Structure 1
Amino acid sequence: MTATEDVASALPVAAFTDAMSRLVSGLAVVTTRQAGGQPCGLLVSSICSYSVAPPSVLVVLDHASRCRDPLARCAEFGVHVLGSDEERTARTFASRGADKFAGVGWEWDGAVPRLCAAPIYLRCTAKAVFDHGDHTVLIGEVTRTAVAEAEPLVCYRRQFDWGLRRNGVRHP
């Protein structure tokens, strides 16, 4: 065992997750088509711009998610950055419910399930997938975008309804 591994294995999980919960992050739903043809999707908070040439995003998937395997094997996927009025959608896709798409407005964009209300939609071609620890990293090259004006839904300290502050005023 190296000194780095020794330190990492000694780090209490609760302390690490508490520290990371204090990092404000946007929330997105990542979707794809399963092998049987049905849509699948999950909520992620670990997402970022990865490259501008070519335009790419990096998404992190928990191994315990039921959508992890379809996303790790997909050719295409969608990233839907949620707006501040989409807390219900976030909670639906964070759940382990059987049909997360029931009651949510969506349509097929080719082989990618697209959530109609999301203010930011990125259709991606999967370019790289690798595992690290208990998560999978998925890198996608963006092939289509749709952007509408909206305040983002952000997560802070495990709360989806945290508001942004402008000029000292909290905005829900």
Structure 2
Amino acid sequence: MSTPPTADGSGPLDAHRFKESMARVTGPVAIVTAVHDGAPHGTTVSSLASLSMSPAMITVALDNGSALLAIVRETGAFGVNVLSARQHEAAMRFASRRDDRFAGVAWEFADGLPRLTGSSAWLRCAVSAEIPGGDHTLLLGTVRDCSTSDATPLVYSRRTFGTHAALPELTGAAS
């Protein structure tokens, strides 16, 4: 594994320090899905962000060696299932290398893409662009359709799943 250079280019950055720093960044947990030869494929990501409101666009990063990236490149489409707090086991299942990731997970086809039942949000995207970034590729997706539920979103921080909690002083609640 190569070590990224420091910001000033003076030498290699310590990989452990970088991982620890990034563990402090709280992010959404989502399962990106696509279809190949009629079969569903998916993987867990925490590198999901909104990009633009007009047109509606998102970014998601996929590992360069992932089968899912190859499928998305071939089809030009992907789904994003923003997981709910009750779907932490699905997050672990889809983060594994097992072949049967969809076994035991409630899902359906929605506009030709696998959509997990019970997700906090769903986005159907068309690939607009790809940007290489080290060992990952950043996909820019134009959102073609989306929906939400009342389910509490799952987040990931410090290598632990959780949910967001508003600060009491910002909600009017007593401390």
The offset of 1:99, in angstroms, is 1.5
SS at match of 1:91: helix
SS at match of 1:93: helix
The offset of 1:164, in angstroms, is 3.1
After superposition, give the CA deviation of every residue in 1:38-91 in whole Å (9 maximum; x if it has no partner): 111000001100110000110011224332221233321100101111111111
Checking the alignment, whether the CA contact within 8 Å between 2:122 and 2:146 is kept in structure 1 is: yes
Instruction: Give the distance between the partners of 2:102 and 2:8, measured in 1 at CA.
Output: 41
Checking the alignment, whether the CA contact within 8 Å between 2:153 and 2:163 is kept in structure 1 is: no
After superposition, give the CA deviation of every residue in 1:82-126 in whole Å (9 maximum; x if it has no partner): 111111111111111101111111111232111122120001111
What is residue 69 of structure 1 aligned with on the other side? 70
Q: Which structure 1 residue ranges, 5 or more long, are not aligned?
A: none
SS at match of 1:92: helix
What is residue 9 of structure 2 aligned with on the other side? 6
Letter in 1 for 2:31: V
Instruction: Give the distance between the partners of 1:32 and 1:14, measured in 2 at CA.
Output: 32
What is residue 96 of structure 1 aligned with on the other side? 97
Distance 1:163 1:5, change over 3 A: same
What is residue 83 of structure 1 aligned with on the other side? 84
RMSD over aligned CA atoms reads 2.0
Letter in 2 for 1:75: G
Residues matched between the structures, number: 164
What is residue 147 of structure 1 aligned with on the other side? 148
TM-score by length of 1: 0.87
Instruction: Give the distance between the partners of 2:6 and 2:64, measured in 1 at CA.
Output: 26
Instruction: Give the distance between the partners of 2:164 and 2:57, measured in 1 at CA.
Output: 26
TM-score by length of 2: 0.86
Checking the alignment, whether the CA contact within 8 Å between 1:77 and 1:123 is kept in structure 2 is: yes
Q: Which structure 2 residue ranges, 5 or more long, are not aligned?
A: 170-175
